[in-house]
Amino acid sequence: MSSLSDLPLAWPVTGHTVLGRGRVSLFVEDEITGPTGGQPFHRQYITHPGAVGIIAVDDRDRVAVVRQYRHPVGMELVEPPAGLLDGVDEDPLDAAQRELAEEASLRADHWSVLVDVATSPGGSEESARVYLATGLAQTDRPDGFVLEHEEAHMLVGWEPFPDLVDGILDGRLQSPLLVAGVMALATARATGRDLRPADAPWPVRGVHAEQQRERA
């Protein structure tokens, strides 16, 4: 098996400026010096707490999906249940279990990792882990959780797994976590590849957690 791997690396940061503050993220600019010195250069990007998504598959090979309005892209996207990590130290599996209950009123007996994705590494810190959840059952939404804003109009349903694959390859389905998770599952099925356990290491998450602690 190939040992090809992304590697943690940090070029020296000689300046860090917050250009804007939002509810979840900051818009920042770093002054960076390359590994061989020379003139510093600047990069602007968005900080992000990280996210999880869930490809929840029932015993009829249907996937739980939500249809949610996404204002920046001007579309209602078909997406897996997903959400933000609540903090640097939140366990991502705990977050996935919470989001599955909040958005789809489901719990799962079996969890594994489908894929880890740096969603836009040229301009955002966001990294996302997509889980496979099986052995599904209905459950109540967590106490105190209230659907609001876009989520208040979110539609929840079930779609056959092959229809999602077709929709992705036809260009009709574009949610990054849906695309990454569904195609990872299709590949694993086609190749017989075992999935990683739910507590598998998530290297980029460790890097981001350290960055967030340094900023704090």
Angle between helices 161-169 and 176-191 (to 10 degrees): 110
Q: pLDDT tens digits, residue range 142-162?
A: 777 777 777 777 899 999 999
- Give me the percent of the chain exceeding a pLDDT of 90: 75
Q: Flag whether pLDDT at 215 surpasses 70.
A: no
Per CATH, domain 51-199 is 3.20.20.70: no
Residue 98's alpha-carbon distances to 19, 23, 198, in angstroms, are 32, 21, 15
The pTM of the full predicted model, rounded to 2 decimals, is: 0.93
Element (H, E) at 212: helix 203-215
Q: What is the pLDDT of residues 80-125, one digit of tens each?
A: 999 999 977 889 999 999 999 999 999 999 999 999 999 999 999 9
The catalytic residues are 151
Domain boundaries, the chain: 13-47, 51-199
Q: Do residues 25 and 46 make contact, with C-beta atoms less than 8 angstroms apart?
A: yes
